[in-house]
Amino acid sequence: MSNWADQSGNSNDVAQATGAQQPPVNASSINSLPALTFSGTKLLSNTRTIITPGADRTVIGVIKNGAATAGGTVFHFRTAPPLMNFAAEQSGIGNFLMYSDASANVSQTAPQIVYDGNAHVLEWYMHVGASPGFVYDGVTKTIEAYSSFGNTVSSDTGGTALNLIGNYPGGIDPFLGDIAEGLIYDHLLTSGDQISLRRYLHGRYAINLGV
C-alpha cells in the first residue's frame, strides 16, 4: 500500500514512496475485511498538522497483533521534541501506552493486556495536563505511571509535524501486526459519541465493545 486515503475529506492521506517500506494489504484480516500488515520497516507518514499542537485528542485504532511479543507504535505525532506516541504492547510488555517527552511522561494500562490472537479496538483519550484515558474493547482500563514517570500527559506543543502509522521515528519501535482502521479527533469524544463510534466499529468488525 503506497497511499492510505483519509476518509474525512481533510486530505490527511498517509503515504510511503519506498516499495520495501510499504505495508502489504491483508485482504481478509479482521472480520474478513482488509487491513494493512506492518512488520519491522513498514510505515506510512505525512507531514501535515492533523491536530493543533497542544490540543486534546482522541486516537482510536483497530488492530491485530502479529505475535504475543509483537506490538509497538500504532500512531506517532511529531518528529522533533516534544513527541507524542501511542503504542500497543510496546516491546512485548503487554500494555498499551501514551507517551510524551515534553516532560518525560509515560502512562500505560494496568493490569497488562494479554495477547490472545484476536482483533481489538484501542482508544486513547489525551487531555493535556490531566491523566489520560484508555479504553480496551469498550472497557475503561486503570491507569498507572510507567517506570518513574508521572501519569499526567504533557502536550506536544512546538514539535515538528511528522505523523506516522505503524512505526516510530528511526524505526526503533515498529508495530508488528495488522492495522485495519485509525480514527483521530482533535478533541475528546463525548460519552454519546463514544457509544455511537463503538456501535459502528462493532457492526463493522464484529468485536464485542459492550454496545
Q: Which of the pair, 9 or 162, is modelled with greater confidence?
A: 9
Do residues 12 and 124 lie in contact, with contact meaning Cβ atoms separated by under 8 Å? no
Where residue 83 falls among pLDDT bands split at 50, 70, 90?
low
Q: What is the pLDDT of residue 40?
A: 83
> Is residue 90's pLDDT more than 60?
no
Mean pLDDT, the chain, whole residue set? 80
Q: Give the least confident one: 9-13, 99-103, 151-155.
A: 151-155
CA atoms of 84 and 49, how far apart (whole Å): 13
Q: Each residue of 152-208: pLDDT tens digit?
A: 555 555 556 678 888 887 888 888 889 999 999 988 999 999 999 999 999 999 999
Mean pLDDT of all residues in 48-62: 82
- Residues 30-34: contacts with CB under 8 Å, at least 24 apart: 30/62, 30/64, 30/119, 30/178, 30/180, 30/205, 30/207, 31/119, 31/204, 31/205, 31/206, 31/207, 33/180, 33/204, 33/205, 34/180
Q: What is the pLDDT of residue 2?
A: 96
